[in-house]
Structure 1
C-alpha cells in the first residue's frame, strides 16, 4: 500500500490489517516510561490515533480534535501513537491541554508500526509512522481503519467516531 506526502507516492511497510481482523496487541511506552498495551481485547473500544510526529501542525490538530470529540465517548479509550519520545509527548500534551488522550511512543521497540502496517518507507519521512486511525472493538476486532491517503491532511473524524457504538 502507498500514501502520498505532498503529492509524492510513499510506500508503507509492515503487516496489512483490514476491518474484521484481530488487532495485534502491542506494548508501547507511556509518558512515565511504563509499558502500556494497545490492541487486543480490552473490554472497551480503542481509538488508535496514529501520527508521524506531535511536533507538526496537522498532527497537533488531529490530537486536539480527538481529545475534544472522542474522549467523551462512553466505553472508549483514546490513544495517540508516534515515534516521538515520551518526554516530548508529555510536553505537547501539557502545553496543549491534552488530558483525555493517552500519548504512547513506539520509539523503543518500533513494533507498532510493523504490526499495523503504518511505517513510511522511501521518503523524507522514512521510518516514521503514517497518519492513520484504527478503531478496535471491546473484543479486539478492528471495526474501522483509515490510512489517510495524503499524510498532510486530517483523517475522517466522523467515520472513526461513528465506529464506536
Structure 2
C-alpha cells in the first residue's frame, strides 16, 4: 500500500497502482446521464485522465479547467474522474459554462480507483493524480500527487499528452 498526505495528514492508497509502460486497466464509471462508461469507449484516442478528490473545491476546479483548456486543442480526449455524484458533476459543468468537459463519476463502486490504485481509504475520495494513455491504452505518464491539496505537475503531464 502506498501512502500520501491530504491536508498534511497521512492517508493510505488502496487498489492496484499502475506505472509507465503498463497497459491501462479497464474501468467502469458513470457519465452525467448515469450511463456506464468504460475505457474502451475511447479506444483509438490518446487520453489524459485528470483525477480529482472533489470537483467542487478550488484546486480541483482549477485542475479541471487547466487540463481541459490546455489539452482540448489536441486530437484526443480529456477525462476528469472523481467520486462526486454525476448530478454534482453536471451541475458544476453547467454553472461554470463548460460544455466540453467530460466528467465521470467513480462513486458507484470505485472501479477506476481500484484499478489505478488511487482510493484514499480514510476519506473514500480518489487521490489527485494524472494518467496519460496513448491510442493503444499504454500508460506514458503517471503522477499521484504526494500531498492531495497540491496541484499536479501540469507541464509534465501536458508535455506527455502533446508528445504522443
Q: TM-score range by the shorter chain?
A: over 0.9
2:153 alignment counterpart: 156
1:84 alignment counterpart: 84
Tell me how large the CA RMSD over aligned residues is.
1.5
- Unaligned runs of 5+ residues in structure 1 are none
- The separation in 2 between residues aligned to 1:89 and 1:78, in whole angstroms, is 15
2:94 alignment counterpart: 94
Higher share of residues assigned helix: 2
* 3-state secondary structure, aligned to 1:163: helix
* 3-state secondary structure, aligned to 2:150: coil
Give the drift of 1:41: 7.3
CA gap 1:41/1:104 in 2 versus in 1, 3 angstroms: closer
2:136 alignment counterpart: 139
1:68 alignment counterpart: 69
1:55 alignment counterpart: 56
- Unaligned runs of 5+ residues in structure 2 are none
- The separation in 2 between residues aligned to 1:27 and 1:158, in whole angstroms, is 28
* 3-state secondary structure, aligned to 2:23: coil
Q: Which among 121, 126, 129 is matched to residue 129 of structure 1?
A: 126
CA gap 1:71/1:41 in 2 versus in 1, 3 angstroms: closer
Per-residue CA deviation, residues 20-54 of structure 1 (Å, 9 max, x unaligned), is 01101111100111111226971111111101111
* 3-state secondary structure, aligned to 1:150: coil
- The separation in 2 between residues aligned to 1:40 and 1:161, in whole angstroms, is 22
- The separation in 2 between residues aligned to 1:102 and 1:64, in whole angstroms, is 11
